[in-house]
Amino acid sequence: MGSEMRPEQLDREMIRIGKVLVTHLFVLLKTAQNYNEGHSAIQAPIANVINTAREIHRRNEEASLRLKGGYLLLGELRLKPDAAGFDAFMFLMGMMKRFFIGSINFTPAVSAGEVGAFAYLLKEIEPVPSPQTYQKIVDRMQQRMIVNIELEALSEEEAFERSDSTDIKDSKATSRRIYFQTMSAVSEVMDNAKMGQTLRLRKSKRVVQSMIDQLLAAETNLVGLTTIRCHDEYTYNHSVNVCILSLAIGQRLGLSKPKLCELGMAALFHDIGKSEIPLEVLNKPSQFTPEEWETMQKHPLLGVKKLMRLKGLDALSARIITGAFEHHLNCDCSGYPKVPCKGLSLFGRIIGIADCYDGLTSSRVYSRVPYSPDKALRFMLAKAGKAYDPVLLKLFVNCVGIYPIGTLLILNTRELAVVMENNPDPQKWNVPRVRIIADGSGNEIEGDLADLADPAGGRSVAGVLDPNQYGIDTSRYFV
Ligand SMILES: [Fe+2]
Ligand SMILES: [Fe+2]
């Protein structure tokens, strides 16, 4: 495994092998274009691709090629074309873009038959860069039972990649993109869980990583997005929110990036057991019957069962499983499932807080009428030291603020305002930055941002309003 190699050396070695893989793929696809399926000329190129993928797997790396920011990456390593490999690079990148393929991954089990079939399958499809083209490829791959080559579609930003990527720097747009990418990743995994398939978390891991980067760069935007409510996709929506809120706590705790990634994954899949709960129960608009409530309470254990199907159980899976198991247990073990309990793991305590907050402030689950953010926090603070870890809860309040992002306020001027950002000084918790959305007479306006900490503005918080009562969707100020 080359374990004594220093990381830089390993990276250099991986980049070298990555370039070899690109070249062999280029030769394979070219050969497939020139010879019919079954011709012996294709055998050597197929073998070369497989052997190179094996070489990568032997080093415990992923044999995946991915387009990002106009570059081709092997795993996370950027491959730079040299003069000799330039044609192969341009060909492969062009091919991926034309077929709307964002990444190609060869799993360790990939066979010669699959690699050959994949090369010929591309020949049959017209290269029009669109999601439909990509879907066609995926469908054909399914028909031909190619399961050990995994594709991902081109992301929006790659599809419209320009040399000057100022848009991508727009952090609000980036936050929103990451939010929806995460929702799509979690829905995919949960759909697979529902069908009892092996769960693959590669894509989810990647979106969680971009979420962490974004959170470190611009926390406010991402946390603001947790006010998004997609009523038809409650569980996915909720999962992403719990992930963001858990990460926000983890970040304030000073967890390292790899730990944050584990926490994010555990939070993202904490409710995976709900994929087993009948939709009539899950989406019931009225109160649960005692039997339905009993069914609902099974989801932590069902989640554990689902998660045992994770591809290659490892330390990460163990922590994800713990998160799923513990999130309703409460710090004092007063929750469910009823099991012998000697306290919760750190992740369980963090996810429990994020989960409860998002559950209370959204219009589904448990409380049918959502709590306003400050009411939810007060409700939870009353249980500090019992259901919730008091230190973590304090960190959480600090990070969402006593007027959390998205709270609808009425000001002393009778204006309505939405909290956009908390004052970075924890002492000034009562003077957030807001956007004015209605004037003193109640007329809706596209108002300015106002910093309530600025005494010259003469504005202060008079009270908190329930946005539902006023028919105001506060998320629209963040999306
Ligand atoms: Fe849950
Ligand atoms: Fe939950």
Ligand nearest to the CA of 235: 2
Q: In this structure, are 332 and 198 located in the same domain?
A: yes
pLDDT at 161: 55
CA atoms within 13 A on the CB side of 277: 23
Q: Predicted confidence band at 307 (pLDDT cuts at 50, 70, 90)?
A: confident
Report how far ligand 2's centroid is from the alpha carbon of 32 (Å). Answer: 49
pLDDT at 427: 66
pLDDT at 10: 81
In which element (H, E) is residue 50 found? Answer: helix 43-58
Report how far ligand 1's centroid is from the alpha carbon of 353 (Å). Answer: 11
How many domains in the chain? 3
Q: In this structure, are 426 and 386 located in the same domain?
A: no
pLDDT at 24: 95
Both tokens of 112, joined, read 């010669």
Residue 270 belongs to a domain = yes
Q: Predicted confidence band at 347 (pLDDT cuts at 50, 70, 90)?
A: very high
Can you tell me the distance from the alpha carbon of 185 to that of 201, in angstroms, rounded to the nearest whole number? 9
pLDDT at 3: 45
Q: Are 329 and 340 in contact (CB under 8 A)?
A: no
Ligand nearest to the CA of 274: 1
Report how far ligand 1's centroid is from the alpha carbon of 347 (Å). Answer: 14
Ligand nearest to the CA of 296: 1
pLDDT at 330: 94
The mean of the pLDDT values for the chain is 85
Domain that holds residue 141: 7-154
**Residue 63, strand partner residues:** 106
Closest CA to 335 of 369, 301, 364: 301
pLDDT above 80 for 220: no
pLDDT tens-digit map of 427-441: 676 788 899 999 888
Report how far ligand 2's centroid is from the alpha carbon of 239 (Å). Answer: 7
Instruction: Report the amino acid identity of residue 21.
Output: L
Report how far ligand 1's centroid is from the alpha carbon of 302 (Å). Answer: 11
Report how far ligand 2's centroid is from the alpha carbon of 274 (Å). Answer: 9
Can you tell me the distance from the alpha carbon of 190 to that of 360, in angstroms, rounded to the nearest whole number? 23
Ligand nearest to the CA of 326: 1
Both tokens of 458, joined, read 């003469």
Whole-number percent of the chain with pLDDT over 70: 90
Listed residues 370, 400, 430: the one ending a domain: 400
pLDDT tens-digit map of 377-412: 889 999 999 999 999 998 898 778 778 778 889 999
Residue 440 belongs to a domain = yes
Ligand nearest to the CA of 329: 1
Q: In what order do the strands lie in the sheet with 71-74?
A: 77-79, 71-74, 63-68, 101-106, 149-153
Task: Give the predicted TM-score (pTM) of the model.
Answer: 0.61
Report how far ligand 1's centroid is from the alpha carbon of 328 (Å). Answer: 6
User: Would you put residue 385 in left (φ > 0), alpha (ψ -120 to 50) or beta?
Assistant: left
Q: Predicted confidence band at 114 (pLDDT cuts at 50, 70, 90)?
A: very high
Q: Are 65 and 104 in contact (CB under 8 A)?
A: yes
pLDDT at 382: 94
**Residue 444, strand partner residues:** 438
pLDDT at 367: 45
pLDDT at 363: 63
Report how far ligand 1's centroid is from the alpha carbon of 301 (Å). Answer: 10
Report how far ligand 2's centroid is from the alpha carbon of 337 (Å). Answer: 14
Report how far ligand 2's centroid is from the alpha carbon of 355 (Å). Answer: 5
Report how far ligand 2's centroid is from the alpha carbon of 232 (Å). Answer: 16
Q: In this structure, are 379 and 318 located in the same domain?
A: yes
Listed residues 137, 154, 171: the one ending a domain: 154
Can you tell me the distance from the alpha carbon of 271 to that of 261, in angstroms, rounded to the nearest whole number? 17
Report how far ligand 1's centroid is from the alpha carbon of 210 (Å). Answer: 24
Q: Predicted confidence band at 120 (pLDDT cuts at 50, 70, 90)?
A: very high
Ligand nearest to the CA of 300: 1
Both tokens of 374, joined, read 């400050």
Ligand nearest to the CA of 355: 2
Residue 78 belongs to a domain = yes
Report how far ligand 1's centroid is from the alpha carbon of 59 (Å). Answer: 38
Report how far ligand 2's centroid is from the alpha carbon of 267 (Å). Answer: 9
pLDDT above 70 for 5: no
Residue 354 belongs to a domain = yes
pLDDT at 23: 93
Query: Quick check: helix, strand or coil at residue 409?
Result: strand
Q: In this structure, are 272 and 291 located in the same domain?
A: yes
Q: Are 410 and 465 in contact (CB under 8 A)?
A: yes
Give the position of tokens 């044609």. Answer: 87
pLDDT at 340: 86
Q: In this structure, are 190 and 137 located in the same domain?
A: no
pLDDT at 171: 67
Highest mean pLDDT among 7-21, 169-183, 364-378: 7-21
Please provide residue 125's backbone torsions phi and psi, each rounded to the nearest 5 degrees.
-110, 135
Average pLDDT over residues 143-151: 94
Residue 281 belongs to a domain = yes
pLDDT tens-digit map of 58-96: 988 899 999 987 778 998 888 876 656 777 887 898 899
In which element (H, E) is residue 356 found? Answer: helix 346-361
pLDDT at 194: 82
Ligand nearest to the CA of 238: 2
Ligand nearest to the CA of 364: 2
Q: In this structure, are 98 and 227 located in the same domain?
A: no
Report how far ligand 2's centroid is from the alpha carbon of 149 (Å). Answer: 33
pLDDT above 70 for 44: yes
Residue 296 CA, distance from chain mean position: 24
Report how far ligand 2's centroid is from the alpha carbon of 458 (Å). Answer: 41
Report how far ligand 2's centroid is from the alpha carbon of 257 (Å). Answer: 23
pLDDT tens-digit map of 158-197: 776 543 334 434 666 677 778 888 888 888 888 888 887 7
Q: In what order do the strands lie in the sheet with 461-465?
A: 449-451, 433-438, 416-421, 408-411, 461-465
Q: In this structure, are 431 and 384 located in the same domain?
A: no
Report how far ligand 2's centroid is from the alpha carbon of 38 (Å). Answer: 52
Listed residues 381, 400, 419: the one ending a domain: 400
Say which CATH number the domain at 363 has.
1.10.3210.10
pLDDT tens-digit map of 419-477: 888 777 766 767 888 999 998 888 888 888 899 988 888 898 888 887 777 777 777 77
